Structure 1
């Protein structure tokens, strides 16, 4: 009887009123005082319709357009489910700041698996050595140490340029690689350590460029799906085992006599030495070659820019001639317009996305991004913000006159070299080498484009038209040029 009485008491008018008051109170606390119990929502999510694959196919067809449409529809933060991953794209000041500055946005965890796939470095070895390698590179390639490399790389560039034919018709990207690859490798690894001569360069170059061209796929997919790429990777790793042995046998005690490669080997202390050596080679070539190509292509394709660049060169060195250009550091600093051309080419041809990993939940723009998400930032679209970069699609080197490059301050919104703790450690060396090579090639030759300026591919359809079918941002290196030694012929005679 007591049980029946207590149950019936639950349905008395007084109890019902009390329950209603409690429910209303809970609702008020939840919705009128959100900080007390209501958590911000997850970002809008684009899921696609195929399990696991999600929106991967849709995004892969036209990644740049996909990102732009998603931002327009969903705002500055949105998540894409693709190939089993949650990719959360960040935009705007708050998003960019969190991407580069938050302790919960981790670079190492974002890149560990791609590094393991491309260079066979296991997680334990990567986590143990990555920070120390980064600090070594940052120190050895800092601005106040560039003088240690300047004369060497200038001489290497000069030697390689002199080996080119005095005139001819050639693919511009091939022309750049013929000079930059051996010169930079001999500078950073030591003369003759890597194959850079006529007798041994061809096979090495074939494997390296195959490795480079498939790098994005190789960083994500199992090797059995990429047979040719995997064979080139294993060929290169086998070669670097021999290169590391020779570099360590001839490693000098004096710090200033060591190559950058030997400094890295000292830092590694035997951990994944040949694997990291392959990554060092790739890092030295993967961006410098295409940016140098694009800088020359942009300059040559615009008569006014070309004339301005040549006038600057003439103002420092006089009219061009047959002798190699023995440029020094002070003279290179007197060529700011050409350096601005390099930076503008970098702005226009930066990658579609860079990544970090959320290791703890992140609150951005009133959204909670869960731990485990891959955070994505698009330099391509950030560099096309018309507020920060007026006429963003135009090649305008003069915009860089507003940057304080003497104090290492780039333009606001320029993120090509990354940011935060893991900003590109080789950025100053890269700017120096690209600036120098562009000057030396413009001084040596008069160029005339035979093809229209190639474009940056935004979709699979565009890529199929040109034969380049990567499912990422594809850059075409197909400009053909006529080049010839001017022999003091007045500017413009080649047009």
Structure 2
């Protein structure tokens, strides 16, 4: 479908055949991201990974983040962080046994803490302020500002009230991220001073276990002067804000949607709990489920897949054409905004019979996976711009869910019917559920 968003020519793709053409066959041509004022301001003139233009700088920064944070080996190494934060979550839920809790808020705290500790070496003391800025900036980035729709209008660009608000947000963000960088620099200087006095040459950093975290790595790369594209503090801030927003928002929204669907589908909930409790039979209320065992919970994985079909973490995959091209007989000029509709793909009745129903078993039957090769189903995207944090994100979703379903029985507050739950999404890039999920948790053992 082609339409105009103001002056901006826009293509929406909602069929697997055309999605494959754009995301695989002509992947490099559609490997750019559409520009927006919100992304330009809040992500430091596109110095991050998610919004950076496709090219050598993007490849350089993506490689650093994958090697130092997002590789399968590193994701496994963060297992103790996940276990610690999940334990805190379970204690909090258990202390409110029988009372109504805001599970959405609790899950958000969990995923933000895991991300902060993995990337920054600790829980950010300004986390609440950072979360507020993230939520507001994602709404702006996923929405439509008039100045974005009419880029030729200098008046709209100058007079935009939203643009002024974004710059105020950016100044607040600078204070938080500068504090993280400065504290890392101070600690690294102290560590080096101690190493020199004790004649030790082992590299240590601000990570959980005395190792380097992502900020340490970026600072080391900055000091080395060996990068093809030297990085400043703005580059570092863009990357660490990128990691926080991407990992926190998508993981928490996915867990929240899963729990909402389970509350609406008690058969699926019972089947999932039976699988998990059978697998860890004989455990007690202090059991921490081994992450390697979570990988064997086949039905839980089907549930996550089905939830991502109905509620993809990125409902619209944004791309932009880098040059003139043709797809399916249609001419698409350079700099056209292209949106691949994950929402539409996942609800296509040709590939997903009775698409509005929540039925995890369908993925056992169709064999589809989210590795980017099945274009009927691409919740993490596909091609060169496929989400590099898929492994990190899945671990942050599946492991907490396994614990929550093992340790507690769940029900809605009195007077609330599952069939009447509001399923409307919030505006923004990741479209989490607009209403918070309030539930009552009763310990299983």
TM-score grouping bracket, smaller chain normalisation? 0.7 to 0.9
Equivalent residues, number: 394
Aligned partner of 2:349 in structure 1 is 386
Note the C-alpha offset of 1:250: 4.2
In the aligned structure 2, how far is the partner of 1:241 from the partner of 1:443? Answer: 41
- In structure 2, how many angstroms separate the alpha carbons of the residues matched to 1:183 and 1:201? 12
Q: 1:420 to 1:382 in 2, by over 3 A?
A: same
Distance (Å, rounded) in 2 between the aligned partners of 1:267 and 1:403: 45
Asked if residue 166 in structure 1 is aligned to residue 96 in structure 2, the reply is yes
- Whether the 8 Å contact between 2:9 and 2:337 is mirrored in structure 1 is yes
Q: 1: distance between equivalents of 2:437 and 2:409?
A: 13
Q: Post-superposition shift, 1:104?
A: 5.1
User: In structure 2, what is the equivalent of residue 225 of structure 1?
Assistant: 162
Does 2:406 match 1:443?
yes
Give the 3-state SS of the residue equivalent to 1:389 in structure 2.
Answer: coil
3-state SS of 1:245 partner: helix
Give the drift of 1:455: 1.4
Aligned match of 1:18: none
User: Relative to structure 2, which stretch is displaced further, 404-413 or 173-182?
Assistant: 404-413
Residue in structure 2 matched with residue 95 of structure 1 by the alignment: 18
Q: Which of 262, 265, 276 is the aligned partner of 2:216? A: 262
Could you list the per-position Cα deviations for residues 380-399 of structure 1 after superposition, in whole angstroms to 9, with x for gaps in the alignment? 10111122222211111112
Structure number with bigger Rg: 1
Given the alignment of the two structures, is residue 346 of structure 1 paired with residue 296 of structure 2, yes or no?
Answer: no
How far did residue 123 of structure 1 move?
Answer: 7.1
3-state SS, counterpart of residue 270 of structure 2: helix
Within 5 A, what are the aligned runs for 1:39-54? none
Q: Does 1:216 align with 2:145?
A: no
C-alpha distance in structure 2 between counterparts of 1:407 and 1:373, whole Å: 26
Alpha-carbon displacement from aligned partner over 1:453-487 (angstroms, at most 9, x marks no partner): 33145xxxxxxxxxx6x498954342543323425
Which residue among 429, 451, 454 is the counterpart of 2:422?
454
Indicate yes or no: 2:48 matched with 1:86.
Answer: no
Q: Which residue number corresponds to residue 297 of structure 2?
A: 335
Please give the alpha-carbon distance, in whole angstroms, between the structure 1 residues aligned to 2:171 and 2:29. 32
Greater CA deviation, 473-482 or 241-250?
Answer: 473-482
Decide whether the 8 Å contact of 1:400 with 1:411 is kept in 2. no
Q: Structure 2 stretches of 5 or more lacking a match?
A: 149-156, 189-201, 223-229
Greater shift, 257-266 or 385-394, is seen at: 257-266
> What is aligned with 1:154?
83
- Corresponding residue of 1:11: none
Aligned equivalents of 1:415 and 1:80: distance in 2? 23
1:253 is aligned to 203
**1:362 corresponding residue in structure 2:** 325
Deviation at 1:303, TM superposition (A): 1.2
Residues in 2 aligned to 1:202 and 1:145: alpha-carbon distance in whole angstroms: 26
Aligned equivalent of 1:185: 116
Give the structure 2 partner of residue 110 of structure 1. 34
- Quote the Cα distance in structure 1 between the aligned partners of 2:258 and 2:289: 19
1:353–1:377 Cα contact (<8 Å) kept: yes
**2:311–2:343 Cα contact (<8 Å) kept:** yes
Question: Aligned with 1:388: secondary structure?
Answer: coil
Partner Cα separation in structure 2 for residue 234 and residue 218 of structure 1: 22
- Cα separation, partners in 2 of 1:485 and 1:267, compared to 1, 3 Å: farther
Give the match's secondary structure for 1:81.
Answer: strand
TM-score by structure 2 length? 0.78
On the 8 A contact 1:98/1:364 being kept in 2, the answer is: yes
**Partners of 1:112 and 1:228 in 2: how far apart?**
15
Distance 2:336 2:345 in 1: 21
The answer as to whether partners of 1:349 and 1:456 remain within 8 angstroms in 2 is no
**CA distance in 1: counterparts of 2:304 and 2:132, whole angstroms:** 27
The verdict on how the C-alpha distance between 1:88 and 1:263 changes in structure 2, with shifts beyond 3 A counting, is same
Tell whether the 8 Å contact from 2:108 to 2:252 is kept in structure 1 after alignment: yes
CA contact (8 A) 1:187 1:259 kept: yes
Classify the secondary structure of the residue corresponding to 1:287.
helix
Matched, 1:131 2:59: yes
Secondary structure of 1:234's match? helix
What residue in structure 2 maps to residue 235 of structure 1? 172
**What is the TM-score of this pair, normalised by structure 1?**
0.70
- The aligned counterpart of 1:484 is 441
Distance change (3 Å), C-alpha of 1:372 and 1:237? same
Q: Relative to structure 1, is the Cα distance of residues 340 and 267 closer, same or farther in structure 2, using a 3 angstrom cutoff?
A: farther
Q: Which residue of 2 aligns with 1:42?
A: none
